[in-house]
Structures are given as C-alpha cells and as structure tokens.
C-alpha cells in the first residue's frame, strides 16, 4: 500500500504568509510608516471609524487606506471623498486579507508620501485573526448590537488584538449589552488590550481612540533630525 503523506495545508499557508508579512513589516519600519490592521464583523463600523479618524487626523498625518472587500468599491469611494488615497482590494470571495494581497495594495501606494496605512480587513471575526499582514498593530471593533458574548465565540480575534473598539455605544441604553461582563471576559483573555468605547454617530470616545493611534504612529515614525 502507498505511504500516506500528510500535508498540513493551514500550517504551510500560514508559514508562507508569515514570511511575507515580516518582509512587509521590515520595509515599512525602514520607511517609518505605521500600519494598522482593522478587523470586525460586517457592519460593525470599520469604514465609519476610518472616516471619523481621517477627519480628525488627516491634517496631522498623511494617510493611505487599503480597503478589503469580497465585492464592490463602496468603502474606498467613501475614503476618497475625504481626500485620502485609497486602494480597493477585491478578493472575489476570499473571506480575509493575506500578506500577498496587502503587498499588492502597498505596491499601489505612494509610500514616500505616507505616514500611516490603515487596512480595513474583510468583515469577519474568524479567518482574519490568523493572518499577519505585516502591520504594527491589530485593532478590532465589536459593535453593541452584536452582543457581549462574541468574545466567548471568537476568542482568537480578541486575543490577538492590541486594541478593541466597542462601537455603536449610542445603542447601549436600548440593548442588554453588559459592558462590564464583556470587558472582564476580554481582559481575562488579553490583559494588555486597550479598550475604547465609541460612537461614530455622536463622536463619543473618538478623541481617546485618536490619541492611542497618534501615539502608535509617532512610535513608528523616524526620529526627528536635529
């Protein structure tokens, strides 16, 4: 009987992805560019948070946005309307971005003129958590209407992120979302995560979010000369 050969597809895909992600990270580091990988479920408010962030910070820093979507370029059109350059990655079905897609996106960004790149990942709390894109920081959004139990169902996503944005906080009063229980569950998985409570509709919490992002962009920036 033939020998059975076992090929661990997932491990090999992730190893290849990791190698490319490290190359991207090294290149961006040498240029002093910060990159954020923003992940969340469909409709949680990724594009809204990006737009509100750009409105508050685009006069301070030069941004470029890489938009990931299975189909359409709706989100990159919203970014472009803010006067910020956007690259739309249309995955044609793939439910997450990987490092090779981000590399293709970055090849279309004028990197010499950019301080920070924001990636809007595909709306999904599962697969994107597995893929290093060469970013400096991973952030996720959980919106109040999704419920406070999502950390129990998608623990990897909550474990790998440096920041959690609890968005649509304006819905808190009319929901049964238990903020304290959610925060305790998240902290038991990821004690160092930074948690922000925001509403892209009322503007609540966005200054705190922008302060965190500002610090991260400054950390990646080359030291001032002179």
Residues of this chain that interact with Mg ion (CB under 5 A) are 46-47, 75
Task: Tell me if 134 sits within 8 A of 25, measured CB to CB.
Answer: yes
Task: Tell me if 19 sits within 8 A of 26, measured CB to CB.
Answer: no
Say how far apart CA 88 and CA 68 lie, in whole Å. 6
* Residue 67, Ramachandran bin (φ over 0: left; ψ between -120 and 50: alpha; else beta): beta
145 is a contact residue toward ligand GTP (CB under 6 A)? no
43 is a contact residue toward ligand GTP (CB under 6 A)? yes
Question: Which CB atom, from 28 or from 200, has the smaller least distance to ligand GTP?
Answer: 200
Q: Which of the choices Mg ion, ligand GTP, none does residue 200 contact, using the CB cut-off of 5 to 8 A by kind? A: ligand GTP
Residue 16, helix vs strand vs coil: helix
Q: Shortest distance, CB of residue 168 to ligand GTP, whole angstroms?
A: 4
42 is a contact residue toward ligand GTP (CB under 6 A)? yes
123 is a contact residue toward ligand GTP (CB under 6 A)? yes
Measured CA to CA in angstroms, residue 220 lies from 39, 77, 167 at distances of 21, 28, 26
Of 10-18, 104-112, 167-175, 218-226, the window that binds ligand GTP (rule: CB under 6 A) is 167-175
Among 131, 136, 199, 205, binds ligand GTP (CB under 6 A): 199
Integer-rounded Cα Rg, in Å, for the chain is 18
What is the separation, in whole angstroms, between the first and last Cα of the chain? 72
Residue, CB closest to ligand GTP: 123
45 is a contact residue toward ligand GTP (CB under 6 A)? yes
Binding site for ligand GTP (CB under 6 A): 40, 42-48, 75, 123, 167-168, 170-171, 199-201
């Amino acid at each position: 009987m033939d020998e059975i050969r076992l090929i661990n597809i997932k491990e090999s895909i992730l190893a290849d992805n990791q190698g490319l992600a490290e190359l991207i990270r090294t290149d961006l580091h040498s240029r002093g560019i910060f990159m954020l990988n923003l992940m969340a479920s469909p409709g949680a408010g990724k594009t809204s948070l990006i737009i509100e962030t750009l409105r508050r910070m685009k006069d301070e820093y030069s941004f470029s946005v890489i938009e990931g979507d299975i189909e359409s370029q709706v989100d990159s059109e919203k970014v472009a309307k803010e006067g910020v350059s956007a690259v739309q990655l249309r995955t044609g079905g793939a439910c997450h971005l990987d490092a090779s897609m981000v590399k293709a996106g970055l090849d279309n960004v004028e990197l010499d003129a950019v301080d920070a790149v924001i990636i809007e990942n595909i709306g999904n709390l599962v697969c994107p958590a597995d893929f290093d894109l060469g970013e400096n920081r991973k952030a996720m959004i959980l919106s109040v209407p999704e419920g406070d139990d999502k950390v129990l169902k998608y623990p990897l996503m909550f474990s790998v992120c440096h920041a959690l944005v609890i968005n649509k906080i304006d819905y808190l009063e009319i929901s049964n979302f238990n903020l304290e229980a959610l925060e305790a569950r998240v902290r038991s998985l990821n004690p160092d995560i930074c948690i922000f409570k925001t509403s892209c509709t009322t503007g609540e919490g966005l200054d705190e979010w922008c302060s965190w992002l500002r610090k991260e962009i400054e950390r990646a920036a080359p030291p001032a000369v002179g």
